[in-house]
């Protein structure tokens, strides 16, 4: 199979060769259990702790504040459920309508367990209003969970202001930083809990961490041998944790340079797509993660466009990233009020470390023809306001 032009880095990324090389020994000779006392065990422990130190150093955190998990879904669950069940009096949780389902569905589950939840709306660009958060805070609010940058439309949130406000009110602040970590600086001083996943930054799948500020009480989700300071039992996934550390090191050493390059690609994509009639940019024009651009095209289905582009050797994703078989439009696009006439025709283009200017140009060359071909078969026309 010839390798496609990969513009779906928000979904996942290729494991960097340096990361593979760092992981390999821990799937071979260095197979010890970090809890074992012998030399093989100590070697594995040293590798896990080295990774923890790397991450803590780049976050300006203490190593005790890093809890390794099996990815960000678990980290988000641990943050919300762990904080909720550890809280003695406060029970109210605030989040937003555009969170990843790993936060939204967890919050809904907590609601079913008797924790009141407020879900805040966002504006047309996907931004949360700091005043709306302020007004939603109650005497019994225990936690606010607002993502750093959105995985579908890229919009960045004012997490520094929100986190600072929460701190002043004695409320915990959690941020899902899966898409932002290693791409933009994070205001760690304002954050109590922060979730990260390795596979979005050229690390392996199924590993991540939760940053837990010192003093924050969490009830563990997994009970057992008391690993990770009692917060997450289970033998550590040594090769993957080593990969996460290596990926973090690379991401932080390149962050500024990479972000500038990706921002340039985003600007070029926005400019190029604007030349096609009946399109719109979803998200914020400037307050955005550098690597995500989300567009809607009138009179076509996003899934059709993804498949057409796939035939042409370009891997992108529908803006809706539908996970349900009934192809319901994305909760994020609905929350920002994308008109029903275009909500089904959305496309998310996300760039990464390996993306080249030539790939962006090739995509922009293929796109108008693909859109036109699909529109030729559509019962709808550009400018048609009928819902489809």
Ligand X SMILES: Cc1ncc(COP(=O)(O)O)c(C=O)c1O
Q: Which residues are catalytic?
A: 322
Interface with ligand X by CB under 6 A: which range of 108-116, 128-136, 172-180, 356-364? 172-180
Nearer to ligand X, 173 or 380 (CB): 173
Site for ligand X contains 176 (CB under 6 A): yes
Tokens of 300: 């076509």
From candidates 157, 179, 288, 350, binder to ligand X by CB under 6 A = 179
Q: Report the DSSP beta bridge partners of residue 264.
A: none
Q: Which residue sits closest to ligand X, CB atoms considered?
A: 71
Nearer to ligand X, 179 or 279 (CB): 179
State the DSSP code for 101.
H
Nearer to ligand X, 178 or 374 (CB): 178
Measured distance CA(221)–CA(280) in Å, rounded: 42
Spatial contact of 51 and 198, defined as CB atoms under 8 Å apart: no
In angstroms, what is the minimal distance from the CB of 151 to ligand X? 3
Spatial contact of 277 and 288, defined as CB atoms under 8 Å apart: no
Tokens of 175: 């941020």
Measured distance CA(300)–CA(38) in Å, rounded: 62
In angstroms, what is the minimal distance from the CB of 152 to ligand X? 8
Convert residues 95-114 into a mask of x (bound to ligand X by CB under 6 A) and - (unbound).
-----x-x------------
Nearer to ligand X, 8 or 43 (CB): 8
Which helix (H) or strand (E) segment is 279 a member of? strand 279-282
Site for ligand X contains 73 (CB under 6 A): yes
Interface with ligand X by CB under 6 A: which range of 44-52, 67-75, 239-247, 368-376? 67-75
From candidates 197, 346, 350, 355, binder to ligand X by CB under 6 A = 197
Nearer to ligand X, 91 or 100 (CB): 100
Q: Three-state SS for 309?
A: helix
What are the distances in angstroms from CA 383 to CA 297, 337, 377, 380, 387? 11, 17, 16, 9, 11
Tokens of 372: 């036109």
Site for ligand X contains 65 (CB under 6 A): no
Tokens of 318: 């529908």
Nearer to ligand X, 117 or 201 (CB): 201
Site for ligand X contains 13 (CB under 6 A): no
Which residues does 286 contact at the CB level (< 8 Å), separation at least 6?
none
**Where in 208-227 is the site for ligand X (CB under 6 A)?**
208
In angstroms, what is the minimal distance from the CB of 197 to ligand X? 3
What are the distances in angstroms from CA 194 to CA 172, 175, 178, 225, 247? 11, 5, 9, 24, 17
From candidates 5, 48, 61, 178, binder to ligand X by CB under 6 A = 178
Nearer to ligand X, 240 or 342 (CB): 240
Site for ligand X contains 52 (CB under 6 A): no
Site for ligand X contains 71 (CB under 6 A): yes
Site for ligand X contains 8 (CB under 6 A): no
Size of the site for ligand X (CB under 6 A): 12
Measured distance CA(105)–CA(58) in Å, rounded: 30
Residue 133: name the closest of 97, 105, 108, 107 by CA.
Answer: 97
Site for ligand X contains 318 (CB under 6 A): no
Residue that has been written with the tokens 């029903």 in this structure: 340
Which helix (H) or strand (E) segment is 256 a member of? helix 238-274
Site for ligand X contains 151 (CB under 6 A): yes
Contacting positions for ligand X (CB under 6 A):
71-73, 100, 102, 147, 151, 176, 178-179, 197, 208
């Amino acid at each position: 199979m010839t390798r496609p032009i990969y513009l779906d880095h928000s979904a996942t990324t290729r494991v960097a060769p340096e990361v593979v090389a760092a992981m390999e020994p821990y799937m071979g000779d260095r197979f010890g259990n970090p809890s074992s006392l012998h030399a093989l065990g100590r070697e594995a422990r040293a590798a896990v702790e080295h990774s923890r130190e790397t991450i803590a150093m780049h976050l300006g955190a203490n190593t005790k504040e890093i809890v390794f998990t099996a990815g960000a879904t678990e980290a988000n669950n641990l943050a919300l459920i762990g904080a909720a069940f550890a809280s003695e009096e406060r029970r109210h949780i605030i989040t937003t309508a555009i969170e990843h389902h790993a936060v939204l569905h967890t919050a809904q589950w907590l609601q079913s367990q008797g924790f009141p939840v407020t879900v805040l709306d966002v504006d047309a660009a996907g931004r949360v209003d700091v005043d709306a958060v302020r007004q939603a805070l109650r005497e019994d609010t225990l936690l606010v969970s607002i993502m750093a940058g959105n995985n579908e439309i890229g919009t960045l949130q004012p997490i520094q202001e929100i986190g600072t406000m929460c701190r002043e009110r004695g409320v915990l602040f959690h941020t899902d930083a899966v898409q932002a970590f290693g791409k933009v600086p994070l205001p760690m001083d304002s954050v109590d809990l922060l979730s990260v996943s390795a596979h979005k930054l050229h690390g392996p799948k199924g590993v991540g961490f939760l940053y837990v500020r010192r003093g924050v009480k969490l009830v563990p989700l997994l009970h057992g041998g008391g690993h990770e300071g009692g917060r997450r039992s289970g033998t550590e996934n040594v090769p993957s944790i080593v990969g996460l550390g290596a990926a973090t090191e690379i991401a932080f050493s390149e962050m500024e340079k990479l972000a500038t390059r990706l921002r340039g690609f985003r600007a070029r994509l926005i400019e190029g797509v604007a030349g096609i009639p009946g399109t719109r940019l979803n998200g914020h024009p400037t307050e955005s993660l550098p690597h995500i651009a989300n567009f809607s095209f009138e009179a076509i289905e996003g899934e059709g466009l993804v498949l057409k582009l796939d035939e042409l050797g370009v891997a992108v994703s529908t803006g809706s990233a539908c996970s349900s078989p009934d192809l319901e439009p994305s909760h994020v696009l609905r929350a920002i009020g994308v008109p029903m006439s275009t909500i089904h025709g959305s496309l998310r283009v996300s760039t990464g470390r390996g993306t080249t200017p030539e790939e962006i140009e090739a995509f922009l060359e293929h796109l108008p023809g693909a859109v036109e071909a699909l529109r030729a078969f559509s019962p709808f026309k550009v400018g048609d306001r009928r819902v489809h």
